[in-house]
Structure 1
Amino acid sequence: MLNGEKLIERPLRWGMVGGGRTGQVGYKHRLGALRDNTAYRLVCGAFDLDAGRGRDFGEKIGVEAERCYADYRSMIAQEAGRADGVEVVTVATPNYTHYEITKACLEAGLHVICEKPLFFTVRECEEIERLAEARGLIVGVTYGYSAYPMLLQMRAMVAQGVIGEVRMVDLTYVHGFNSGDDANASEAQKWRTNPATSGPTFVLGDISTHTYYMSQVILPEMKISKLLCDRQSFIRSRAPLEDNAYVLFHYDNGAVGRLWCSSVCAGSMEAQTIRIVGSKASLIWRETAPNELTYEIQGQPGQVMHHGMPYLDPISLDSDRLGALHTEGLSESWANIYLRIAQAIDAKNRGDEAMLARLIYPGIKGGTDGVRWLEACVRSAEAGAQWVDFA
């Protein structure tokens, strides 16, 4: 069980690009990073395109005024001249800026934690991976849902063969918050439906890339061999970007899968559901009840497993924070992600490759795989919903 004791020698000096007052995700990043004050300490930021607003915001969350910068370039340059300069930077900005900010940070010797989807193309991902490796730096990706303890329990049960051979994978991430047109949309919504700023997808990249990555955490030994994607723009002004999509896939072990993602499922508050069906039993996790895991054995009554209980696998219990009966949520999952990335940075700094190999966290390879998946989905959809190879 995690209780806030230090797992690295000292807190990392941490900065943010984006994530200011008008952003949708900045607070989630700060909740995750600062939940354990033994892992990170927020020392600087370029929080907003409006420098004055960004400085005012930074001061009100406890950052020194002189370390609230007008832009990321100023932050990198001025922090480099300080003995107590920033060591790791979170990129919490619109998609189209991820690549240039991440590259600039790595070139300055800084570790990076970046929002998803990581970049627009696999080529960009591979270039950044080579740069990070050459500089001995970590690039983490904030797949913030992926560290719920019960997802790790699913991983353990699949690996142990408890449900038998995996046959089917069923994934959903749906809500209805974009069912209307974008006439009165917020700025955060507008950039998500503009190909120039969002990239080649809307809901596939914005929400279902989370669910895809979570399925890979649960099923690390299973790889998709081919997929078919059919996507729709029910709000016509969003075309060519989709607000609804269906993806079918075949795995290399013979299993099949499907994913439905939508932001126009009017009235829905279901969010994510993950069902793994094996030859002996099934496992079901729902984001609306993230502390529970349904275990259905063929021919027996269904069971509901609860987080924090001693019958769970150590991999699950090691990420539990509050214990059974006390509800954990998204902020705890984000905290687990940030903590594991801090451990990865510490291990990389020390040259501890064995530790890096043991850690389960969303790194550059997970981010690259997500972009490769998005590229395959777009390629399939643009070919008229045809099966395409996924390699």
Structure 2
Amino acid sequence: MINGERTIQRPLRWGMIGGGRTGQVGYKHRTGALRDGTYQLVAGAFDLDAERGRDFGTNLGVSGERCYATYQALIAGETAREDGVDVVSIATPNFTHYEITKACLEAGIHVICEKPLFFTVAECDEIAALAASKNLIVGVTYGYTGHPLVRQMAAMVAKGMLGEIRIVDMQYTHGFNAGDDTDASEAQVWRTNPATAGATFVLGDIGTHLYYLSEVVLPELKVEKLLCDRKAFIPSRAPLEDHATVLMHYDNGARARIWVSSVNAGNMGSQRYRFVGAKASLEWSDSHPDQLIYEVQGEPCRILHRGMAYLEEDSLALDRMGALHTEGLGDSWSNIYLWIAEAIDAKMRGDEAFLSTHRYPDLKAGTEGVRWLENCVRSAEAGAAWVDFA
């Protein structure tokens, strides 16, 4: 169980690029990072509006001299200090991820980046080579996979409790974009612009969460081919989609369906995952993150509860509140940030043995998300045709 005891040598000196007052995700990053004493927020380039960013940063307790106008100024200022940042989080629009990540790595700074990571697999491969040459960590904030019951599902699949996996059914939908984009927020506008969001909207914004979680639960299964059908129900969002369905074939013969949508009118936002094997099924939703439905063919349905002694050790090790108290998204983000801090700490100490078994959403995970998006776009642009997963 996680109880707040320090698991690394010292708190990492941490900076933020983006995540300011008008951003949608900055507080999630700070909630995750500052929970366990593994990070200390010491610097930031929080906002394109330098004065607003400085005002915001000082209200967070960051020294005014370390509230920078640009990410370039942050890199220059922090690398000139003996106590400069060890790691930065990038919480900026998609089109900036690659250039900022590259600049930070070249300066010797570890990176934690929002998803989708970059626009192309080629960019991911280039950054992977750079990170390896600099001996640096790149983590990706797939923030839902820190829930303890996600690791419980992975452990049960690994033990063969479901039998051979046959069916995977996942959805992440909400209705907050069911209307047009009149008076849309700044954060919404860039997400529906191909120049700033990339080749997808909801597939990249929320669909990659589904795909990565499925990789955590089913690490041995590989996608062989997929079909993506996508549509912009609000025409001004085209060529990007606000609704999509993806069908996938796995190498063991299993079939998968993914539904992502931001026009599911009335829906407040929900994820649902169902993994069906030859003997049993598991179902989990972020709406009820403390409960896992376990159904064995021919037996009564069981509801497993987070924090109970009958769960696998992988799940219990992530528990924070105990079985009587509910956990939420902030707890999951805290686990993600803790895992990345432990990876950075190990890399700084040269502990490759630890890193060889340590699990966290890393650069490879981010790359596979981008690969999935590339294949989805290729299929959709071919008229929702089946394409070999490449």
TM-score (norm 2): 0.99
Counterpart Cα distance in 2 of 1:74 and 1:209: 31
* Aligned sequence identity (%): 68
Which residue is equivalent to 2:78?
79
Which residue is equivalent to 2:347?
348
SS for the counterpart of 1:146 is helix
Contact 1:106 1:137 in 2 (8 A): yes
Equivalent residues, number: 390
Which residue is equivalent to 1:113?
112
Which residue is equivalent to 1:6?
6
Which residue is equivalent to 1:336?
335
Counterpart Cα distance in 1 of 2:142 and 2:88: 16
Which residue is equivalent to 2:48?
49
Structure 2 portions without partners, runs of 5+: none
Which residue is equivalent to 1:312?
311
Which residue is equivalent to 1:134?
133
> Which string of whole-angstrom CA distances, capped at 9 and with x for unpartnered residues, describes residues 161-209 of structure 1?
0011110000100110000000110000000000000000000000010
SS for the counterpart of 2:145 is coil
Deviation of 1:270 (Å): 4.8
Counterpart Cα distance in 2 of 1:231 and 1:162: 35
**Given residue 336 of structure 1, which amino acid in structure 2 is its aligned partner?**
N
SS for the counterpart of 2:27 is helix
Counterpart Cα distance in 2 of 1:57 and 1:301: 53
Which residue is equivalent to 2:235?
236
Contact 1:223 1:251 in 2 (8 A): yes
Counterpart Cα distance in 1 of 2:388 and 2:31: 39
Counterpart Cα distance in 2 of 1:113 and 1:218: 22
Which residue is equivalent to 1:175?
174
Deviation of 1:216 (Å): 0.4
Counterpart Cα distance in 2 of 1:352 and 1:170: 38
Counterpart Cα distance in 2 of 1:269 and 1:311: 32
**Given residue 102 of structure 2, which amino acid in structure 1 is its aligned partner?**
K
Contact 2:136 2:347 in 1 (8 A): yes
Counterpart Cα distance in 2 of 1:91 and 1:239: 27
Counterpart Cα distance in 2 of 1:3 and 1:169: 34
Match runs of 1:362-381 below 5 Å: 362-381=361-380
Which residue is equivalent to 1:122?
121
> Which string of whole-angstrom CA distances, capped at 9 and with x for unpartnered residues, describes residues 312-334 of structure 1?
00000111111101100000000
**Given residue 210 of structure 2, which amino acid in structure 1 is its aligned partner?**
T
Deviation of 1:269 (Å): 2.5
Counterpart Cα distance in 1 of 2:63 and 2:324: 39
Q: Which contiguous aligned blocks of 4+ residues in structure 1 show a shift greater than 2 angstroms?
A: none
Superposition CA RMSD, Å = 0.6
Which residue is equivalent to 2:321?
322
Which residue is equivalent to 2:31?
31
Contact 2:152 2:315 in 1 (8 A): yes
**Given residue 51 of structure 1, which amino acid in structure 2 is its aligned partner?**
A
Deviation of 1:249 (Å): 0.2
Which residue is equivalent to 1:185?
184
Counterpart Cα distance in 1 of 2:146 and 2:276: 21
SS for the counterpart of 2:226 is strand
Counterpart Cα distance in 1 of 2:137 and 2:368: 16
SS for the counterpart of 1:346 is helix
Counterpart Cα distance in 2 of 1:217 and 1:349: 26
Counterpart Cα distance in 2 of 1:66 and 1:305: 50
Contact 2:175 2:269 in 1 (8 A): no
Deviation of 1:309 (Å): 0.4
Which residue is equivalent to 2:194?
195
Which residue is equivalent to 1:302?
301
Counterpart Cα distance in 1 of 2:54 and 2:149: 39
Counterpart Cα distance in 2 of 1:297 and 1:179: 38
Counterpart Cα distance in 1 of 2:269 and 2:9: 40
Contact 1:270 1:287 in 2 (8 A): no
Counterpart Cα distance in 1 of 2:182 and 2:268: 23
**Given residue 17 of structure 1, which amino acid in structure 2 is its aligned partner?**
I
**Given residue 34 of structure 1, which amino acid in structure 2 is its aligned partner?**
L
**Given residue 231 of structure 2, which amino acid in structure 1 is its aligned partner?**
Q
> Which string of whole-angstrom CA distances, capped at 9 and with x for unpartnered residues, describes residues 127-169 of structure 1?
0000000000000000011110001000000000001111000
Which residue is equivalent to 1:60?
59
Deviation of 1:295 (Å): 0.2
Which residue is equivalent to 2:291?
292
**Given residue 13 of structure 1, which amino acid in structure 2 is its aligned partner?**
R
Which residue is equivalent to 1:17?
17
SS for the counterpart of 1:169 is strand
SS for the counterpart of 1:272 is strand
Which residue is equivalent to 1:218?
217
Which residue is equivalent to 1:269?
268
**Given residue 92 of structure 1, which amino acid in structure 2 is its aligned partner?**
A
**Given residue 386 of structure 2, which amino acid in structure 1 is its aligned partner?**
W
Residues 270 and 57 of structure 1: is their aligned pair in 2 closer, same or farther, counting only changes over 3 Å?
A: closer
Contact 1:120 1:199 in 2 (8 A): yes
Contact 2:176 2:268 in 1 (8 A): no
Counterpart Cα distance in 2 of 1:126 and 1:389: 20
Counterpart Cα distance in 2 of 1:358 and 1:335: 20
